[in-house]
Structure 1
Amino acid sequence: MTVLWLLLLFLIIGGVFAADVKIVQLGDSYSSGVGAVATRHDYDETVIPECWRSSHGWGGQYAGHLLLAANNNYNVTYVNGACSGAKSHDLLQANLVSQKWGLCPFRRKRNTAEVFYNRTRFKLKCNKYAVPQINYVDPATDLVLLTIGGNDALFAQLLSNCILGISIREARKCLEIIAEARTTQVNYTETIKEALVEIWYKMGESGKIVVFQYPHLIQNYSRIWNDPRSGIYIDGPQLVRQFTEEGNHAYIVAAEELNTAMGVEFLTIYSKTMDLFANHEPDPRKHSRNDDRWISEFERPIGSVFHPNRRGHWEWGAAVALEGVFGIDLS
């Protein structure tokens, strides 16, 4: 009987002194949870299925680890506002997630806290928008986690042309996309910086934002395109790996600039992603396969290609949990 009373007292005291932590996840498909479930029907979202959100993604896994950690004693609230396909401007602006022929939903179902609809100019199609992701943030938010910039950097086109491409035409297209992405990088980096400041203002000074770098999407190998007639000589896979590293480094520079400008370290860059996924990337060579990969190739669910698989999301979330709450003040 005494043991039961002591256990009850422990639970009561633990509940009294537990720190409330609200975590909001924003960003693109690497944050929404793409690849974290077995089939598309297993994703959480019913209001915006186009966002492919899952609480089994690495952010939800991280929140779960905090909730269960006996020595941390946190009351965790986790909100996923990320959306597959999101670009930097979608952090502060509405994101067009679908456009279909026909009528929009009835007025009473048309606008919610997460979506809104309108008709095209000639009333033939209905546009469905996800609200700006900043709408998920409020003064009670302690921690914002996000990945962003991959869609701005044309990663899907880089993969299809520089890695999966087999012709000289695709090699030429690879060079064009790399050049375009590098040209626009300055612009979308500035857009991201402006959005991060606005998000932090909405959180309040005690909040912290953590931007997560992307992993390499393929193992370290080379494939040379050499066409003397056109003068093309490139190594597509190495170009993609190099460009990913350049983008990740740009976040570090941006964080230093913003923290200095604001006079407080509100922005942290999680720079361990590449090391975490090292040797667990897909092997894209013909007739080769990495059976210990944490990033999907062409397995189900369709649409999760070159995103963390279920093992990848679990490992990523567990690794992030080792950082605790990133030094935020919960007093």
Structure 2
Amino acid sequence: MLSLPRTLSATVVAVTVAAGTAFVTPTAHAASASNYAALGDSYSAGVGAGNYLPDSGACKRSANSYPALWNNSHPGGGFAFVACSGAKTADVRAGQLSVLNSATTLVTISIGGNDAGFVDTVKSCVLGSDNDCSVAVDKAKTYATTKLPADLDATYAQIHNRAPNARLVVLGYPRLFELGGCFLGMSTYKRTILNQAADTLADITRGRAGAANADYADVRNRFAGHGVCGSNPWINGIKLPIDESYHPNGAGQSQGYLPALQATVGATVGARP
């Protein structure tokens, strides 16, 4: 696990926040109708997993991401990969849905973390006191419980409207941290309440996905034991390139997210019930 001096870590986290919030509209060639459409934010784009597609720009879509890995194992169908670093629900609705139509059979998405401000929340916890962290976590959880449900409802509804024959799979977020020895002054208390915030986000997302007749793939158990501070982490701590911090690495995509999608979808992909 990379350990950085506090001054460098502060710079890294601050720039990571800026990088994580810069939504970029998908490139034109990606905006074509397909059988499988991968929507969402940096966790779906594969930020942190390396091997980025040259034409994805600041969206940083990775060939090691779970959407790319799924597509590679299911040849013969179209693939629109438009997930983008920093995307919020409004960005999905405004810039990613053009790839959907009645021929789309599968849509995957992870979304909501940026709406709730979890990047800024992690920054506050890394750089601030336990109290600073607690205040930031409470703010994120308040958004997740009061405003995010409507954001998710609108997003899932528009996906179904654009792709009425598609199965929609909503993938959740993992808990970021293990509670053993760590670095950068991230106390056990900070890590605990950040994980609790991840649980709140998961509960909200699961509920809204179910209300939208979508499948929810919970990845928390798959990532258990592999968070930041673990002996075999599937999530990056603070590292360079800085925008890969606190994102799943290649193992997190291939051993965490991909099996969760496979288990949810099963052997066939067709119209949702």
Whether the TM-score (by the shorter chain) exceeds 0.5 is yes
Amino acid at match of 2:148: Y
Change (3 A) 1:299 1:172: closer
Residues 174 and 143 from structure 1, CA distance in 2 versus in 1: closer, same or farther, beyond 3 angstroms? same
- From the superposition, tell whether residues 182 and 312 of structure 1 become closer, same or farther in structure 2 (CA, over 3 Å): closer
* Shift of residue 235, structure 1, vs aligned partner: 2.2
Contact conserved, 2:121 with 2:140, CA < 8 A, in 1? no
Give the 5 Å matches for 1:2-17: none
Cα deviation for residue 24 of structure 1 reads 0.6
C-alpha offsets along residues 175-233 of structure 1, whole Å, 9 cap, x if unaligned? 332232233222222112111111111112x211111010111113599xxxxxxxxxx
Is 1:59 paired with 2:6? Answer: no
Q: Alignment RMSD, CA only?
A: 2.5
Displacement after TM superposition at 1:325 (Å): 5.4
1:138 paired with 2:101, answer yes
- Quick check: 1:138–1:203 contact (8 Å CA) kept in 2? yes
Aligned length: 232
> What is aligned with 1:113?
none
**Separation in 2, partners of 1:216, 1:27:** 18
Q: In structure 1, the residue corresponding to 2:233 is in which secondary structure?
A: coil
Q: What corresponds to 1:106 in structure 2?
A: none
Moved over 6 A (4+): none
Partner of 1:28: 41
**What residue number does 1:43 align with?**
52
Rounded Cα–Cα distance in structure 1 between residues aligned with 2:159 and 2:261: 21
Pair 1:236 & 2:183 matched: no
TM norm structure 2: 0.77
Q: C-alpha separation between the residues in 2 aligned to 1:222 and 1:188?
A: 33
1:257 is displaced (CA, Å) by 2.5
- Identify the match of residue 221 of structure 2 among 269, 275, 290: 275
Q: Which residue of 2 aligns with 1:321?
A: 262
Whose strand fraction is larger, Structure 1's or Structure 2's? Answer: 1
The change in CA–CA distance for 1:92 and 1:277 in structure 2 (over 3 A counts) is: same
Any unmatched runs of 5+ in structure 1?
Answer: 1-20, 68-74, 94-131, 224-233, 260-266, 284-289
Could you tell me which amino acid in structure 1 is paired with residue 215 of structure 2?
T
Identity rate, percent: 26
Q: How far apart are residue 294 of structure 1 and its match?
A: 1.1
Q: Which amino acid aligns with 1:54?
A: S
Higher RCO by CA contacts (8 Å cutoff, separation 6 or greater): 2
Instruction: Say yes or no: does 1:203 pair with 2:163.
Output: yes
Structure 1 length normalisation: TM-score?
0.64
> C-alpha separation between the residues in 1 aligned to 2:124 and 2:90?
25
Cα distance in 1 for partners of 2:227, 2:140 equals: 23
The whole-number CA distance in structure 2 between the counterparts of 1:325 and 1:150 is 29
Q: 1:256 to 1:311 in 2, by over 3 A?
A: closer
Give yes or no for contact 1:294–1:311 (8 Å, CA) kept in 2.
Answer: yes
Q: Which amino acid aligns with 1:328?
A: G
- Which amino acid counterpart does residue 262 of structure 2 have in structure 1? A
Structure 2 CA distance for partners of 1:258 and 1:317, relative to 1, 3 Å: closer
Aligned twin of 2:89: 88
Q: Which residue of 2 aligns with 1:161?
A: 124
Distance in 2 separating the partners of 1:172 and 1:45 = 42
What amino acid is the match of 2:105?
D
Q: Tell me the CA shift for residue 328 of structure 1.
A: 2.2
